[in-house]
Structure 1
């Protein structure tokens, strides 16, 4: 197979986004736009991917890492100038180069592969990815000759009445014979109103040399959407969300209300799991089989085991086992590990803690910086008091312990296996295994106190 390369244009600041964040780093379904493009291109196992960076170069490189090589466009002098920055990596090599924009997050590897194949099949020196637009206003029109090749690209403002009726448009994604591309780039002029070097001029140069200019029309116009402002960003989000949700449903996941369910591009969900409305599954979350998620639940970067139920709750950066029942209104904070068969009930917060198999915190508890063993019962209002105002301290509750309602465990402290802590206790010392610890003031009843108080008040 001949060499295949990709150049991804990601140097622009994106002033129309009106944002401190560089355009290509704006996320669509939780993943930066340029990462979507690189991930799709990477599926094709090309010989080399070169991303052109400029504004925010360090942040773009930090996001993409070693998935591609980089070339710097220090001055933004147009798309042809941007591609030319890849000359040190690509010039003079035989093969095919595809040029894509980093702000087209909906493009798929299937379309890119089809474009490459069409380019090779037609023996063209350049191939344009086109699409049919219901409203082609503002787009460059593709005018084809009798052989079906591209005769010319006409910008909307320059089109005749007849050409304005054409609805096949230029998407801004191209394939080139690599050697011809870099030779033609040297001939591109900046004699235009903007004083910039435009990549479509390469098409005209190759056509004037008598070379074949082909076009491949994708059936899915949505894939060609370029994001230049927040309106287009929201449109891309809607399309991507629909694509992701349909993928999961076809793989055996039930999504009750897809329009009101958000699932990130990187999430994995196993079959027979049910997602209820208002749920947001973010980041690299992995959810097992036969789970129930939602309604109104947010899960981010978590691993969730089979047959777990999470209702109206928030869980971040944690591991949650099988047959776990969480919520409603629970909060699983980062670095928590929830074992199998655990119950985390309403208004329970777990932070950087481990809950062993079969343990329960059914309501109104805070479990922070704690190691909770198996089959522990934490009564209503139990609190691990982990912070002394300066440092966090560890609470250990060993297997089978029973913590009574409204108990405070002042860390660092250990409650031994099988121990009982009486309701209302404030525990400041270790509790031995199988012991009963009572740490509360002795009750005193003062007979007739209220009657005497009222008498004195009225006198």
Structure 2
């Protein structure tokens, strides 16, 4: 059997919307999760594909979104030329947003991975598996899907009679009762051949109830032209659920927080009560440290080996040497502690505090 085609890959991240159901003056993709804006998690997953280029389609609060993404790109080690932006001036749907990225992508052939900026829990490994599936099947488009017990609000995947190919995606608002009974849903993550993608979206129509250009219309157009469109079913629906409101934000935050804590525990950190411990993704904790219930570690905090952080303590942008003990209900802000320092209980170290080795 011939090996799957290895073509260049580029990424488009759709991040232009306000997110009306968030009921916020802040653009949806800027809401924080595990200490970082939502869009930063999606960007990190995209970077894991090592793409030639990542184009972010921005709209609401575009300047602030761009500044946030540029800072995260630097942290991830991406070259400035790898990340660019396209502006969607009018919110005319996901298809219209995707079209704004065409010029920024240039004329390079290959595969385009399309992501939604509001699916922050997606892992780079999941995207790599999607891309491998697309290439091994020699498909022209591959859509990541999931099976939900309650698919309300999601686009439904309509398969052909044999169940192998995707014929079309029907948005919930446009679905018939029979289509709404389908439990396989669109996750808003696609791989499409670059030379076909934009023409297919342009061929779509605004004949839906929302009066928008849907990115999902490319499926129907591609199938009508005889192209192969398949699904890649993700085994964990929680990873690929989007954030539409504050409840979704809390769910996604809980999932990302659990990943952070799992990572710490695998490296030898004891987390006494993971359900009541908050550690941001940027924090580093040394082996044999014990985090007691109610601990919060934020920002650029660095905790050395074999420390004890007792219940109810919050540490922000601070560094602790080895074998320190922070007793109950302390607040440390921008402070630096040496080795074997004992603080508390109920102490407040203000920014700039320095405590030498005991």
TM-score for both structures, normalised by structure 1: 0.71
1:314 aligns with 2:319: no
Greater strand percent: which structure?
1
Matches within 5 A, 1:421-440: none
> 2:309 matched to which residue of 1?
293
| Cα separation, 1, equivalents of 2:67 and 2:41 | 15
Query: Aligned ranges for residues 174-253 of structure 1 at < 5 Å?
Result: 174-253=190-269
* Deviation, structure 1 residue 94: 0.7
Structure 2 distance, partners of 1:62, 1:163, is 41
Classify 1:195/1:175 alpha carbon distance in 2 versus 1 (closer, same or farther; 3 Å). Answer: same
Q: Which residue of 1 aligns with 2:76?
A: none
In the alignment, which residue of structure 2 is the partner of 1:367?
none
The answer as to whether partners of 1:90 and 1:178 remain within 8 angstroms in 2 is no
1:141 CA displacement: 2.3
Shift, 1:336, TM fit: 2.9
Separation in 1, partners of 2:170, 2:30? 31
Matched residue, 1:56: 61
Of 290-299 and 142-151, more deviation after overlay is shown by: 142-151
Identify the residue that residue 150 of structure 1 maps to in structure 2: 166
1:278 matched residue in structure 2: 294
- Greater RCO (Cα-Cα under 8 Å, separation 6 or more): 2
Taking the aligned partners of 1:59 and 1:189, their CA distance within structure 2 comes to 32
2:85 matched residue in structure 1: 70
Per-residue CA deviation, residues 177-229 of structure 1 (Å, 9 max, x unaligned), is: 11111222222222333322110011111111110001111111111121111
Unaligned 5+ runs, structure 1: 342-459
TM superposition shift of 1:325: 0.9
The question of whether the paired residues in 1 share the 8 Å contact of 2:57 and 2:98 is answered with yes
1:331 corresponds to 2:348: yes
From 114, 117, 120, the counterpart of 1:105 = 120
- C-alpha change, 1:226 and 1:204, in structure 2 (3 Å) is same
Q: Which residue of 1 aligns with 2:3?
A: none
Distance 2:249 2:267 in 1: 27
Task: Return the alpha-carbon distance in structure 2 between the equivalents of residues 227 and 79 of structure 1.
Answer: 15
Q: 1:4 aligns with which of 1, 9, 15?
A: 9
Residues in 1 aligned to 2:180 and 2:245: alpha-carbon distance in whole angstroms: 26
Structure 2 residue 64 is matched with structure 1 residue 33: no
Contact 1:91/1:179 (<8 A) preserved: no
CA distance in 2 between counterparts of 1:178 and 1:339 reads 58
Equivalent pair of 1:260/1:277 in contact (CA under 8 Å): yes
Rounded Cα–Cα distance in structure 2 between residues aligned with 1:299 and 1:84: 45
Query: Is the CA contact (8 Å cut-off) linking 2:285 and 2:304 kept in structure 1?
Result: yes
Structure 1 Cα separation of the partners of residues 256 and 301 of structure 2: 17
Query: How far did residue 163 of structure 1 move?
Result: 4.6
Q: Which residue of 1 aligns with 2:150?
A: 135
Counterpart Cα distance in 2 of 1:35 and 1:238: 16
Q: 1:167 aligns with which of 164, 179, 183?
A: 183
Displacement, 1:156? Answer: 4.1
Higher Rg of the two aligned structures: 1
Q: Contact 2:34 / 2:281 at 8 angstroms: preserved in 1?
A: yes
Provide the alpha-carbon RMSD of the alignment. Answer: 1.8
Contact 2:174 / 2:208 at 8 angstroms: preserved in 1?
Answer: no
Distance 1:24 1:138 in 2: 19
TM-score normalized with structure 2 length: 0.90
Q: What is the rounded CA distance, in whole Å, between the counterparts of 2:222 and 2:106 in structure 1?
A: 17
Aligned equivalents of 1:147, 1:92: Cα separation in 2: 34
Cα contact 2:166–2:219 (8 A) shared by 1: no
After superposition, the C-alpha distances for 1:56-97 in whole angstroms (9 at most, x for unaligned) are 011111111162211111111111111111111224321111
**Equivalent pairs, count:** 341
Render the CA deviation track for 1:333-390: whole Å, top value 9, x for unaligned: 223333222xxxxxxxxxxxxxxxxxxxxxxxxxxxxxxxxxxxxxxxxxxxxxxxxx
C-alpha change, 1:147 and 1:90, in structure 2 (3 Å) is same
Cα distance in 1, alignment partners of residues 310 and 264 from structure 2: 16
* 1:5 Cα deviation after fit: 0.8
- SS of aligned partner of 2:168: strand
Larger helix proportion of the pair: 2
